[in-house]
Amino acid sequence: MQKRKMTPLEAGECKRRRKRIRMVTAYDYATASSVNRSEIEIILVGDSLGMVMLGYESTLPVTMDDMVYHLGPVVRGAPDTMIVADMPFLSYHLGVEQALSNAGILMRAGADAVKLEGGAARCPAVRAMIDAGIPVMGHIGLTPQSAAQMGGFKVQGKSASAARRILEDAMALEESGVFAIVLEAVPHELARIVSERLIVPTIGIGAGPDCDGQVLVIHDMLGWFDRFQPKFVKRYANLGREIERALAEYAREVAEGSFPGAEHCFNMKEDELERLVEELE
């Protein structure tokens, strides 16, 4: 059956239909093409590219130019998959006009929706974007762009008061019109309560099984990034080790002269070779 791109409206309706949303990250054409051939409905071009693609220690150095650059090949590689683009650090923090302008840039670059971090404080920007026809996905709990303010990459909402603030943020985002909300690194009990109280779907990452969908960084789930492995990540492959094995084998065969073999070579016709040899003599 031919895959058909999910729309933000359809994603928002998944909860009513009890259909779990499946989302992974991608940052390049080849990876996006692989995801496009799967049953995964949403690709997130996340600002996590700063760590897994650009080698930064956090997401904070990622710019709008970085996001647009990586968004382009993903759009071309996954024409049948909904694509959500992260709004990077300080691309929406300075007011509604800035948020609207930068969201528009990402939409013109091919995104189907944008995602931004934060709760009630971001609602004016969310409403402005939605009024302009830009679908918005929310993101609360652990918000990596604010990790330093939170004391690091720590689970959020562990106390009753903190949990209540996260629930209030989720409800404020829903009222502002987001079509889905990412819940990151919160206790699974809180994620269940939030999911039960919202009409829009929740997409969990480190938030337990009761969310309405799940998202993972593809480099983490494929064992392709070994700087660290969060507790909530399940590795479905170990590409990093397999790539290292392949490179070691290639290096050995080149060194010993067994690659390239005859099957990897092109041949001249015998008469043309003889003519060349005669001319050279």
Domain parsing of the chain, residue ranges: 8-237, 242-280
| Contact yes or no for 205/216 (Cβ under 8 A) | yes
24: amino acid identity, one letter: V
Question: SS3 for 96?
Answer: helix
Measured distance CA(135)–CA(115) in Å, rounded: 9
Specify whether the CB–CB gap between 14 and 31 falls below 8 A.
no
What pLDDT does residue 138 have?
A: 98
Structure tokens at 217: 């960084």
Please enumerate in sequence order all residues whose Cβ is within 8 A of that of 198, keeping only pairs 6 or more positions apart, or say none: 15, 170, 171, 174, 181
3-state secondary structure labels for all residues of 7-27:
CHHHHHHCCCCCCCEEEEECC
The end-to-end CA distance of the chain, in Å, is: 62
Query: Which of these, 87, 107, 64, lies nearest to 182 by C-alpha position?
Result: 87
Of 119, 45, 58, 121, the residue nearest 86 (C-alpha): 45
Confidence grade of residue 182 (pLDDT, cut at 50, 70, 90): very high
In the residue annotation, 281 being an active-site residue is answered as: no
Q: Please report the pLDDT score of residue 148 as a whole number.
A: 67
**What is the C-alpha separation between 192 and 91, in angstroms, rounded?**
31
pLDDT of amino acid 1: 55
Instruction: Calculate the dihedral angle through the C-alpha atoms of 76, 144, 140, 46, rounding to the nearest 10 degrees.
Output: 0
Q: Kindly report, residue by residue over 195-235, the tens digit of the pLDDT.
A: 999 999 999 999 999 999 999 999 999 999 877 778 899 99
In tens, the pLDDT along 125-153 reads: 999 999 999 999 999 999 989 876 776 67
The pair of structure tokens assigned to 281 is: 């003599």
Rounded average pLDDT over 161-185 = 98
Q: Which of 78, 92, 164, 90 is nearest to 126 (CA)?
A: 92
Which member of 13, 39, 184, 278 is catalytic? Answer: 184
Question: Please, are residues 127 and 177 in contact by the beta-carbon 8 Å criterion?
Answer: yes
Please determine, for residue 194, whether its predicted confidence score (pLDDT) is greater than 90.
Answer: yes
Taking the C-alpha atoms of 200, 203, 204 and 209 in order, what is their torsion angle to the nearest 10 degrees? 70
pLDDT value at residue 221: 96
pLDDT at site 151: 67
Peptide bond into 135 cis (omega under 30): no
Q: What is the CA radius of gyration of the chain?
A: 23
What is the pTM for the complete model shown? 0.94
pLDDT digits (tens, 9 = 90+) for 8-62: 999 999 999 999 999 999 999 999 999 999 999 999 999 999 999 999 999 999 9
Q: What is the pLDDT of residue 10?
A: 96
CATH no. for 8-237: 3.20.20.60
